[in-house]
């Protein structure tokens, strides 16, 4: 399968549709993204939204978030998802390789990602690519939408 990587630069109907199809495969609590949300995502200066295409169709996405912090430029990979029909073909690895290349070229010191323990295949891939489990505690504070 020939796979092409590209950076999404605009919120096309195709990209909105791809997120609508792919995000529920990542999380059952994924909220559908409308065109305005995808536009915010791709136009944010800290984000690089990567898409993988096979036979002209978007089959995977990944968002690289770059943040300058006092200890240096940090990268964070968010929402890696490959269409279930295209899994097992190395697409996630290609997306991650491109994200790491992009982060390295920007001068990032590290790239982090999180993954649920039950995503065993994904976790094996991350470790195979050189990601290491970090002893850390992640805290989350749920913010309720303002009305």
> How far is 108 from 74, CA to CA, in rounded Å?
5
**Domain segments of the chain: what residues?**
3-128
77 SS3 class: strand
CATH architecture for residues 3-128: 3-Layer(aba) Sandwich (3.40)
State the greatest distance between any 2 C-alpha atoms of the chain, in Å, as a whole number: 47
The Cα-based distances of 114 to 68, 85, 110 in angstroms read 19, 23, 13
Global pTM reads 0.91
Structure confidence by residue, pLDDT tens digits, 25-65:
998 888 889 999 999 999 999 999 999 999 999 999 999 99
pLDDT in tens, 61-92: 999 999 999 999 999 999 999 999 999 999 99
């Amino acid at each position: 399968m020939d796979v092409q990587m590209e950076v999404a630069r605009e919120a096309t109907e195709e990209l909105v549709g791809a997120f609508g199809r792919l995000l529920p495969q990542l999380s059952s609590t994924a909220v559908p993204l409308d065109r305005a949300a995808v536009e915010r995502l791709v136009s944010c200066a800290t984000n690089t939204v990567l898409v993988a295409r096979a036979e002209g169709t978007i089959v995977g996405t990944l968002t690289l978030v770059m943040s300058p912090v006092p200890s240096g430029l940090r990268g964070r990979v968010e929402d890696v998802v490959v269409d279930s029909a295209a899994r097992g073909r190395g697409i996630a690895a290609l997306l991650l390789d491109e994200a790491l290349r992009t982060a390295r070229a920007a001068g990032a010191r590290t790239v982090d990602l999180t993954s649920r323990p039950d995503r065993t295949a994904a976790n094996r891939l991350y470790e195979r690519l050189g990601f290491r489990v970090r002893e850390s505690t992640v805290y989350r504070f749920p913010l309720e939408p303002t009305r």
